[in-house]
Structure 1
Amino acid sequence: MSGEKDYAARIAGIGAYMAELRKATPPMMQGFHALSKGAMAAGAIDAKTKELIALAIGVSQRCDGCIGFHGKALVELGATREEVAEMLGVCVYMGGGPALMYAADALRAYDQFAAARTAT
């Protein structure tokens, strides 16, 4: 696994410092939490589709943390590897080579979280 990203460790580290931000900037973090909760709530678009969109944006924005958090959420929501891979194909189509690099990492993140879920 040399050189590979460990997405569980990555989001754990980010989560720890999000807790620090909550202490340092409570109003901002409360506002972000409310925004997140409102945006991701199931409505006309179901939660899994919203997470697929969020992961696609994470890939296009080259955000490792976003890839980790949304990849994990997709596993928890029961998204299949095929659904994730198909969405990543659209990311590559729209974003070219840079999106391809992060799409490969997004599939790695999904696989890591899926394997961890299967192991427990």
Structure 2
Amino acid sequence: MSKLVEEFNEYRTKMNEVILSKDNLVMKRLWNLDTNTYEEGALDKKTKEMLGLVASMVLRCDDCIKYHLGKNHELGVTTKEVYEIFAVANIVGGTIVVPHTRRAAEYWEALEENGSAK
């Protein structure tokens, strides 16, 4: 697995465990709501993850972008589709999104390079 992908996943897992171990009901509910939002519904998981990626890019959250890129990769989104997602995010968010697109492209390349699904 790419070092970039591995480091992100390890840190995210470690800190999520720390946060959830504090047994805060609101935080647990937030995590649960987030998980349930991306479950199959009127929209399929793939579409929801694509939407999550656009929103994360427009909001300029690099951790969120990496997370949703990983999920999109797991769900079989193609590189061609990812770059269309990037295009939508840049049109909606403007040129301020370009630096995040660069980092997103780097992370996508790392996912593709290793066939990583996380």
TM-score with structure 2 setting the length: 0.85
- 24-33 vs 79-88, which moves further: 24-33
Higher relative contact order (CA 8 A, sep 6+): 2
Aligned length: 114
Matches of 1:116 and 1:27, distance apart in 2: 37
* Equivalences for residues 76-87 of structure 1 within 5 A: 76-87=74-85
TM-score with structure 1 setting the length: 0.84
Give 1:16's aligned residue.
14
Matches of 1:16 and 1:76, distance apart in 2: 21
Which of 60, 65, 68 is 1:67 aligned to? 65
Matches of 1:7 and 1:54, distance apart in 2: 19
Give 1:90's aligned residue.
88
Runs (5+) with no aligned partner, structure 2: none
The alpha carbon displacement at 1:7 in A equals 4.0
Runs (5+) with no aligned partner, structure 1: none
Give 2:111's aligned residue.
113
Letter in 2 for 1:43: G
- 74-83 vs 8-17, which moves further: 8-17
Give 1:104's aligned residue.
102
Q: Which runs of 4+ in 1 moved over 3 A?
A: none
Percent of residue pairs identical: 25
The alpha carbon displacement at 1:79 in A equals 0.2
1:57 and 2:55 are equivalent in the alignment: yes
1:29 and 2:27 are equivalent in the alignment: yes
Give 1:42's aligned residue.
40
Contact kept? 1:7, 1:109, Cα under 8 Å: yes
